A and B are shown apart, each in its own frame.
Chain A
Amino acid sequence: MLYIIEDSINGILMGSIYGLTAMGLTIIFGVLKVVNFAHGSMLMVGMYLAYWTVTLSGIHPYLAIVLVAPAMFFFGYYLQNIVIKPIFIAEKNVREPLTVIIVTTGIWYILDNMTLLIFGPQYRSLSDNPLSGQMLEIGQMFISVPKLYGCITALITALGIYWFFQKTDMGRAIRATSMDREAASLMGINQYKIYNVAFGIGAATAGIAAVTLVPFYNIFPTVGVLFDIKGFIIVVLGGLGSIGGALVGGIIIGLIESVGPQFMTATWTEAIVYGLFLVVLFVKPSGLFGQKHDW
């Protein structure tokens, strides 16, 4: 019984980090209506950025957020502005331009392979950071400290983004664009600028997620792929475009992955995840928290 509680807690903690990795994906989809296949690669770029920041300066891994989040914001902002925007303009009259998805796939391959070229295929990790291997002992239960920090960061990030979308002029403009691009233009909102900002925010949350992962996760050029597939499942489970949904979707996956092995072979948990994914698609295609709203 105790094991199950312990695993549940660790599953929730890890799951909220999964949710954080998927949050940017859901924001970008919500506004641009485009599935960003390069999201895992942006996470990977963030992880390398965090890794080198911490390794070279020796600061506490979480302090890297101060550098990584803004750097990733600008990375995302200009990636959309320079690479993706021209395609949006060329496909102006298409509601959900497929070519943009293909371009994000291209960005994924380019980022992964450039990283491979520059840093090589080896696994890196921040082995002697103040959080590594730390455990919080509650009675006979052990809770992973870096994951606890990650969970808290995920909650703060989700609340911060929620506040930004609800209470600021830019946030309202982003929501307006996500609901009706044309009506938003008629209100004087430049949709391409909004896309830049939304992509920037998506990349920045990937950067924050990267910082939370770096203290306990290996860093290698294709690390993003693992989170990409999980991210898609999480986002569809929680409802495309819903920030809270991403968090809940992540926690569900985290719970299945950590509690599942108590009852079955660990590899079977994957099957449960995908089975649940299919059931949600059949029963509630808009996801658990998705709005039944025509994008």
Chain B
Amino acid sequence: MPLLEVNNIDVSYGDVQVIFDLSLKVEKGEVVSIIGGNGAGKSTLLRTISGLMSTSTGSISFADQPIHNHTPEDIVTCGIIHVPEGRRLFPLMSVKDNLIVGAYNKRAKKDTLLTLKKVYELLPRLQERESQIAMTLSGGEQQMVAIGRGLMAQPHLLMLDEPSLGLAPILIKDIFETVRKIADQGTTVLMVEQDVKHSLSLSDRGYVLEHGRVVMEGKAVDLIDDPHVKEAYLGI
């Protein structure tokens, strides 16, 4: 039984349909990458899973419970945490307060301090910066805070939307290493990325999205070697 199951969903912004009959599965413990160009509907897919947008048809279920009619808050309580594109930190709050807000949901709140310790162990840089205002951090540090804030909610499934966006190559490596560590600790990860090479090399499986449809899916190692992926996304 897959942890997350998306069945034949259609999603539109007003009259403009962006996702067409899309299905996807994530098994417990997997790292799954969704790759695709700009406007392929990757972020919209994550926004739909986390309840910010609603499906017009189809269903989404998480741990066998239908969630496509839940509010974003209820979905967080179920254990799906979405780290949004562009980090979206609370700019005028300290790093520590940003992290604590991450543990707002009922399930995570009682363990706030314990989880905070774990997050600091995983991302020691954040402890050094804990009283700094989030707005003043560098891009890489902000992304670390965003991921840390997601972890504070004790996710069963962590969804990352372009964690490498706008970062220097050396920081991108850091971010992906962190993602790998999170996955190794047992959290299931669903990741949207434009950096296809890095994201596929740490994933178990991948989906390729084009124009709101899944055009290819398979093991990450197979996708990297696929001629279409190579040509369209890796530029080889």
Question: Which A residues lie at the B interface, using CB under 8 A?
Answer: 169, 172-173, 175-176, 179-180, 182-190, 291, 293
Complex: A183 Cα to B86 Cα, angstroms: 11
Does B76 lie within 8 Å of A169, measured CB to CB?
no
Show 25 residue pairs from A and B whose CB-CB distance is below 8 angstroms, ordered by the A residue. A169-B100, A169-B104, A172-B93, A172-B97, A173-B104, A176-B104, A179-B91, A179-B93, A180-B88, A184-B90, A184-B101, A185-B52, A185-B71, A185-B73, A186-B72, A186-B76, A186-B88, A187-B76, A187-B101, A187-B102, A187-B105, A187-B149, A189-B104, A190-B73, A293-B92
How far does the Cβ of A207 sit from chain B's closest Cβ, in whole Å?
A: 28
Task: Decide: A188 and B93 in contact? CB cutoff 8 A.
Answer: no
Q: Mark B43-85, 1 if CB is under 8 A from A, else 0.
A: 0000000111000000000000000000111001100011010
Chain A residues with CB below 8 A from B52, complex form: 182, 185-186
B109 touches A (CB below 8 Å):
yes
Indicate if the CB atoms of B149 and A293 lie closer than 8 Å.
Answer: no
Number of chain B interface residues as a range = 20 to 34
Choose one: B89, B97, B100; the contact of A183 (CB below 8 Å).
B89
Give 5 nearest A-B pairs by CB, closest first: A188-B105, A188-B76, A183-B88, A185-B72, A179-B90
Q: In the assembled complex, which residues on chain A have CB atoms less than 8 Å from the CB atom of B84?
A: 182-183, 186
Check B95 for interface membership: any CB of A closer than 8 A.
no
Minimal beta-carbon separation of B142 from chain A (angstroms) = 12
Asked if B153 is at the interface of the complex by the 8 Å CB criterion, the answer is yes
Chain A positions within 8 Å of B77 at CB level:
188
The residues of B that contact A183 with a CB separation of less than 8 Å are: 84, 88-90
The A-contacting residues of B in range 151-181, CB under 8 angstroms, are: 153
A172 touches B100 (CB 8 A): yes
* List of B residues within 8 angstroms of A187 by Cβ: 76, 101-102, 104-105, 149, 153
How far does the Cβ of B113 sit from chain A's closest Cβ, in whole Å? 12
Nearest A-chain residue to B51, judged by Cβ: A185
Chain B contacts of A175 at CB under 8 A? Answer: 90, 92-93, 97
Interface residues of B in 95-126 (CB under 8 A from A): 97, 100-102, 104-106, 109
- Known contacts A186-B52, A188-B153, A189-B73: does B101 contact A172 (CB below 8 Å)? yes
Q: Give which listed residue, A179, A185, A189, contacts B92 with CB less than 8 A.
A: A179
CA of A153 to CA of B71, assembled, Å: 40
- Cα A176 to Cα B92 in complex, Å, equals 9
Shortest beta-carbon distance, A160 to chain B, in Å?
A: 19
Chain B hits for A184, CB < 8 A: 90, 101
Q: Would A180 and B90 be within 8 Å (CB), given that A186-B84, A187-B101, A189-B73 are in contact?
A: yes
Q: How far, in whole Å, are A243 and B226 apart by their CA atoms in the complex?
A: 59
CA distance A179 to B101 in the complex (A): 12
Report the Cα distance A172→B76, complex, angstroms: 18
Determine the distance from Cα of A182 to Cα of B149 in the docked complex, in whole angstroms: 14
Q: Please, how many angstroms separate the alpha-carbon atoms of A187 and B50 in the complex?
A: 11
The answer to whether B101 and A176 touch across the interface, beta carbons within 8 angstroms, is: yes
What separation, in Å, do the CA atoms of A197 and B24 have in the docked complex? 39
Complex contacts, A176 vs chain B, CB 8 Å: 90, 93, 101, 104
| Nearest Cβ on chain A to B14's Cβ, whole angstroms | 10
Question: Distance in Å from the Cβ of A230 to the closest Cβ of chain B?
Answer: 27
Q: Which A residues lie within 8 Å of B51 (CB)? A: 185
Which residues of A are found within 8 Å of B93, using beta-carbon distances? 172, 175-176, 179
Residues on A with C-beta less than 8 A from B72 are 185-186, 188
- Kindly report which residue of chain A lies nearest to residue B152, judged by CB atoms: A187
Residues in chain B near residue A186, CB distance under 8 A: 50, 52, 72, 76, 81-82, 84, 88
- Nearest CB on A from B90, distance (A): 4
